[in-house]
Structure 1
Amino acid sequence: MTARRRGSVWVAAVRTPVGACSAVLLAVVVVLAVVAPLVWGDGAAAIDTDAIGQGPSGAHPFGTDSLGRDLLLRTLVATRLSIGLAVLATAIGVGTGVVLGTLPSVLPRWAGRLLIAAVDIAVAFPGLLLALFFAVIFGVGTQGAVLAIAFAMAPAFARLVQTLSASVSGRDYIAAARIAGVGRLRLLARHVLPNIGEPLVVNATIGAGSSLLAFAGLSFLGIGVQAPDYDWGRLLREGLDGIYVSPVAALAPAAAVVLAGLAFNLVGETVAAVVGVRTRATRRAAGPLPAPRPAPGGEPAADAVLAVENLQVAFPGPGGWTVPVRGVSFTVRAGEAIGVVGESGSGKSLTALAVSRLIEAPGVVTADRLEFAGKPLASATDRELGTALAMVFQDPMTSFNPARRVGGQLAEVSERHHGLSRRQAFARAVEKLTAVRVPAAARRARQYPHEFSGGMRQRAMIGMGLMGEPKLVIADEPTTALDVTVQRQVLRLLARTRETEGAAILLISHDIAVVSQTCDRMLVMYAGRVVEDLPTGGEARHPYTRALLATTVDLGTDRDEPLEVIPGRPPAPDQVPPGCAFADRCPLASERCRTEDPVLEPAGAGHRVACWHPPAGVLSGQSHEEGAA
């Protein structure tokens, strides 16, 4: 299956215009390199004293050289040596670059720094200048030219390897391998190099074209291939001697260099594009979208800001469509605060992204109703929606542009959507930063995101959402990775935004205690569905909600008792069982729960629950012990 899928990826890449051209050119170059010396080798070496220095003719399309030898045949035969030497130089250069790039990780720190400094100095010089320098050192001839070009391109590959290795070294699996006692050499061979191999291959393929051009240049200057051997560069030099008499004599080798270099570069572009083709090929193989399950209809409330009915988010996979959000329905009224809770992977963030129209291809969003402020989100334009919908992301450091000042990024909202001048928009940005309690807002607005603390960046992100006077603020885990004090400040800021701006809040969190303290209603999600919709402080009826409440720790929790846990783990989005997804972890599950999937049913005023055996509830705003009491 994997080999077949990889084959289809390459077939799809070759079908593109760039891929088709690269395949044809590369095939021609390879065939000529193999066949030309065998078929035309004797003809290219044949001396004809009666045809010395002739121009193009029927017998010699590109004319002859100073010994009467056919220039077209010599150009074709020179393909093997020209391509072979370029590939050999590239292989040596890439190998040397990989060694130089990985040595700093193995050598002592002082030696590694010295090597990195030497590589940095070498990269600062043009490649051809380095090649000429090394050619003088290694001597005139084919061997010297190969080594000169290889060592000239090695510093660039060493820098690339260093950069790629640094990007991989911070990953968790590298840290785990170090902790496990994996040696440096094994760490490089098994964990680092395999994960940076793809960009190295792409750059090596493109680098072969540069090597070919550099080799032709050295031979043209007379310090590359020497007689009686000849490559395209040497033929070009010989053709230039009589260019004023027969200009076409230099045309054949020049065209060969250009076409072969173009072939290598296009192959590199095709290899680089294969990663993007994989996604499209997988999407075509996914088949039709799964049909959403029927959901009870109903008109949303008259003051509804957001109406969601039977929302479904699907992504194509090798075995078909994966549906991590499966039929979510809820309504957010004006000025209302709703919390969405659940374990990681329950579909909370995907639901928020779908509502915000931020699901990118190949993901597909469908819904029976998806309306914001009375407008269908699927067909509404950005101008129609305006800035009434604001999104506060989980990690503001990755949401802000690190190369732009914070105030300028906030001001951009008003410049683009409200038509304010740059000065007016910046003044409004300072005003909003002041509103979200950023101290010295005028000075802070001129700083970069990295100069803000985590809590300050989160406040600035909320301030950016307020630049457009939103009707709904979607906050996706806004207190993650913040300390308790800053968490409380951010939650107070959201509550204050709701009071002063009249905006509705959709707060997504894995912490049910945070939602209980902030929101009016709570949506409990599990395996891509809402399993309970209840007022904060109401009686939890679903076993999963009760289990979440039981795991909540507060100051009254008995430290001598073991912490409550929910046994098992949620199912993967592509492995959801046919019945209730929580059945395998539920102590009340019956055979019906394993075969029939419950739907949300009314369980009181403003309360819905999807459970075949809902137990007597505990208050959702209290800890487990308080509810039991």
Structure 2
Amino acid sequence: MAANLATEIVSAGGRRGNRRKWVTVVRTPVGAAATVALSALLVLAVIAPILWTDWANRTDTAQMLHGPSSAHWAGTDNLGRDILARVLVATRLSVELALLATLIMVGVGLVLGTLGVLFGRRVGRVVAAVINIAVAFPGLLLALFFAVIFGIGSKGAVLAIGFAGAPGFARLVQTLVAGVEQRDFVLAARVAGVNRFRILVRHVLPNVGEALIVNATIGAGAALLAFAGLSFLGLGVQPSDYDWGQLLGNGLTGIFEHPVAALAPGIAVVLAGLAFNFFGEAMAKSIGVTTTIGKLRLPVVKPAGEGAIPAKDGATDDDTVLTVRDLRVSFPSAHGAITPVRGVSFGMTRGETVGVVGESGSGKSLTALAVAQLIERPARVTAAELNFLGTDLSSGATRADQDLLGVHFSMVFQDPMTSMNPTLRVGGQLAEVARRHGGLSRTEARDRAVDRLDAVQIPEPERRAGQYPHEFSGGMRQRAMIGMGLMGDPALIVADEPTTALDVTVQSRVLQLLESIRRERNVALLLISHDISVVRQVCDRVLVMYAGQIVEDLPTADLHSAARHPYTRALISVVPDMHTALDEPLAVIPGRAPDPASFPAGCAFASRCPLATERCRAEMPPLETDAAGRRVACWHADASAASGSSGASAPEQMEAAR
């Protein structure tokens, strides 16, 4: 299926591109210095206990509390033990405990931050509220609180610091995930019936992984400092073990006589913290990250209303692909429900191409998403009937519905760059559909993916299947998305503005490809566009939407000669052609579409219509069907058709009326 905060990945260009970005970390002065420092710290943590543990534990009462000397560079403690050796040996425990605390922070943060994706938006809102409350408290205060709960000692301190840092990391995860789960490739995976956990692991987390790694690295530095603070206060590592925080606390007792005893572990803490933080910042700059330290498929409720839908001439029940009656989509607000889609009804048969046109905000894409079962809570979807290939989709989420949509419903989204997962190879993304619904093996699914890429006219499909989306041009990505839809056996392809981001030449090729697929496979095609000239090229029938309603439904061949709604005629008139005067301003439709939060009582187009009367402003016209099967919702449809045939364009009529 063809499917910021604080932190955003600027360019996810595949694994090879990612490797190049990671290499650039060491090419900057700060990055190189941080890499050397962090590497030295980790090496020291491994070898120091092996080389200097005996020296660090050797007591010499004759050398107690001596200052720096050639024998003891940082002096000795109250038992005559070498302070520098103890600082070096304490590196392992200090770093080890800090990394354990970071691991807990990341693990708990990931779980909390992704609960909304796994269990839905309601759970996500509750978890977000808890996280926001926890983040409001200072981290050290939370760490002290958890230290009291978990008890004094290394284990309690690790748990305390890990859980204290988890809320901040969880909020970061929530924000990053929220930015990715709305991408088209995630929506496509949902239509394909991929379960929530697989969507999270395969499609969401890989796209935020770099940012999480960077912030976890910086978090490790913060955890190291926090752990040293707890040990300094006597809540962390307890004798006979020791870390930098404990050594710092011991050194402060005699700081006026022997300041180096406190200075040595203090310097170690600062340098280690800087190594983690600078390395994280260097990664952030190289990768393109700024640092800071769910979905439910809705059941469709059936209202009492009914609506008549004209069928294609000669169509039988076996030919019917999609039936939609009285479809409504509403969103809650502080002032009541907002309903941007209001009573949409239409039907489609096999091999039929239907275009949906209208200005931005008219409800075109929202209607398609509702049909595809991609509207999420708290939105509410209702319909008198929502039937796809004889299956009622209004009964709620079932595995059978997911399989049906995954195999027979294909959706091509608007932006080809965001419609594919940038971290997965193109062939693997196509193969997922075949493996999920077709039961094919990995090899069989890849072979089919190569075949589908070849079917949509992508050159060298075998090689291209192993590439990442960023290695494709815009037109090739769009064709690959169409190929993804052909991995199953589609009966309906919904193309939502599929050519908006493409130049005119590529646009023509994509439209020709869609038309050839429709013709060869007898597939129904629903083409959504704001450009009525694009729809005229490939569609049999046109649905004109305005303010969340269908205001006219007529054959494409009748657009110029028989369009009866003033809005339809206005859309036609504003499209420039070879006869448009170059020395005059381009025609426009005056005014603007009404706000969905405050639709008027009557016709929504009345404020912009030259034919509007008081009846238009007070009563909403019904969508009536004439003898030819055309539908129009206008009190003055016949007058509009007559004025259109007189030669005056709709914008000219509107301007004259003003």
Is 1:330–2:330 an aligned residue pair? Answer: no
Separation in 2, partners of 1:596, 1:206: 65
Shift of residue 120, structure 1, vs aligned partner? 6.6
Is 1:482–2:469 an aligned residue pair? Answer: no
Q: Give the residue type in structure 2 aligned to 1:575.
A: S
Shift of residue 421, structure 1, vs aligned partner? 2.2
User: Could you say what secondary structure the match of 1:324 adopts?
Assistant: strand
Is 1:497–2:517 an aligned residue pair? Answer: yes
Query: Deviations along 1:230-266, whole A, 9 cap, x unmatched?
Result: 9xxxxxxxxxxxxxxxxxxxxxxxxxxxxxxxxxxxx
Is 1:215–2:239 an aligned residue pair? Answer: no
Q: How does 1:53-452 map to 2 (within 5 A)?
A: 114=29, 211-218=225-232, 221=242, 222-225=246-249, 294-297=305-308, 302=317, 303-379=319-395, 381-452=401-472
TM-score, normalization: structure 2?
Answer: 0.55
Shift of residue 423, structure 1, vs aligned partner? 2.1
Separation in 1, partners of 2:382, 2:304: 12
Shift of residue 605, structure 1, vs aligned partner? 1.0
Separation in 2, partners of 1:205, 1:551: 56
Q: How does 1:555-566 map to 2 (within 5 A)?
A: 555-566=578-589
Residue 566 and residue 124 in structure 1: after superposition, are their counterparts in 2 closer, same or farther (change >3 A)?
farther
Is contact 1:349-1:508 (8 Å) kept? yes
Match of 2:575 in 1: 552
TM-score, normalization: structure 1?
Answer: 0.57
Q: Which of 614, 617, 627 is the aligned partner of 1:591? A: 614
Match of 1:540 in 2: 563
Is contact 2:570-2:589 (8 Å) kept? yes
Match of 2:641 in 1: 617
Q: Which of 541, 544, 565 is the aligned partner of 1:521? A: 541
Shift of residue 422, structure 1, vs aligned partner? 2.1
Q: Give the residue type in structure 2 aligned to 1:411.
A: A
Separation in 2, partners of 1:128, 1:139: 24
Is contact 1:352-1:474 (8 Å) kept? yes
Is contact 2:328-2:343 (8 Å) kept? yes
Q: How does 1:569-588 map to 2 (within 5 A)?
A: 569-588=592-611
Shift of residue 225, structure 1, vs aligned partner? 3.7
Separation in 1, partners of 2:248, 2:482: 64
Residue 292 and residue 596 in structure 1: after superposition, are their counterparts in 2 closer, same or farther (change >3 A)?
farther
Is contact 1:128-1:214 (8 Å) kept? no
Residue 383 and residue 224 in structure 1: after superposition, are their counterparts in 2 closer, same or farther (change >3 A)?
same
Separation in 2, partners of 1:124, 1:320: 59
Shift of residue 537, structure 1, vs aligned partner? 2.1
Separation in 2, partners of 1:487, 1:547: 24
Match of 1:600 in 2: 623
Q: Give the residue type in structure 1 aligned to 2:451.
A: E
Match of 2:103 in 1: none
Query: Deviations along 1:291-327, whole A, 9 cap, x unmatched?
Result: 9794534686622210000001112223322211111
Residue 427 and residue 576 in structure 1: after superposition, are their counterparts in 2 closer, same or farther (change >3 A)?
same
Is contact 1:618-1:627 (8 Å) kept? no
User: Could you say what secondary structure the match of 2:542 adopts?
Assistant: strand
Residue 588 and residue 435 in structure 1: after superposition, are their counterparts in 2 closer, same or farther (change >3 A)?
same
User: Could you say what secondary structure the match of 2:229 adopts?
Assistant: helix
User: Could you say what secondary structure the match of 2:417 adopts?
Assistant: helix
Is contact 2:364-2:545 (8 Å) kept? yes
Q: Give the residue type in structure 1 aligned to 2:230.
A: A
Residue 211 and residue 477 in structure 1: after superposition, are their counterparts in 2 closer, same or farther (change >3 A)?
same
Separation in 1, partners of 2:608, 2:650: 24
Residue 117 and residue 351 in structure 1: after superposition, are their counterparts in 2 closer, same or farther (change >3 A)?
farther
Match of 2:284 in 1: none
Identity in percent = 53
Separation in 2, partners of 1:291, 1:586: 34
Q: Give the residue type in structure 1 aligned to 2:335.
A: G
User: Could you say what secondary structure the match of 1:399 adopts?
Assistant: coil
Is contact 2:611-2:640 (8 Å) kept? no
Residue 139 and residue 375 in structure 1: after superposition, are their counterparts in 2 closer, same or farther (change >3 A)?
farther
Shift of residue 424, structure 1, vs aligned partner? 2.0
Instruction: Indicate the larger mover: 597-606 or 525-534.
Output: 597-606
Shift of residue 496, structure 1, vs aligned partner? 0.0
Residue 113 and residue 457 in structure 1: after superposition, are their counterparts in 2 closer, same or farther (change >3 A)?
same
Residue 377 and residue 449 in structure 1: after superposition, are their counterparts in 2 closer, same or farther (change >3 A)?
same
Query: Deviations along 1:4-63, whole A, 9 cap, x unmatched?
Result: xxxxxxxxxxxxxxxxxxxxxxxxxxxxxxxxxxxxxxxxxxxxxxxxxxxxxxxxxxxx
Residue 406 and residue 208 in structure 1: after superposition, are their counterparts in 2 closer, same or farther (change >3 A)?
closer
Shift of residue 575, structure 1, vs aligned partner? 2.0
Separation in 2, partners of 1:227, 1:117: 33
Instruction: Indicate the larger mover: 575-584 or 465-474.
Output: 575-584
Stretches of structure 2 that go unaligned for 5 or more consecutive residues are 1-26, 49-67, 77-86, 88-93, 100-105, 107-138, 140-168, 177-213, 255-293, 653-658
Match of 2:591 in 1: 568
Is contact 2:603-2:619 (8 Å) kept? yes
Separation in 2, partners of 1:443, 1:205: 41
Is contact 1:476-1:507 (8 Å) kept? yes
Shift of residue 549, structure 1, vs aligned partner? 0.8
Residue 342 and residue 354 in structure 1: after superposition, are their counterparts in 2 closer, same or farther (change >3 A)?
same
Is contact 2:301-2:381 (8 Å) kept? no
Match of 1:260 in 2: none
Give the number of aligned pairs: 409
Is contact 1:295-1:327 (8 Å) kept? no
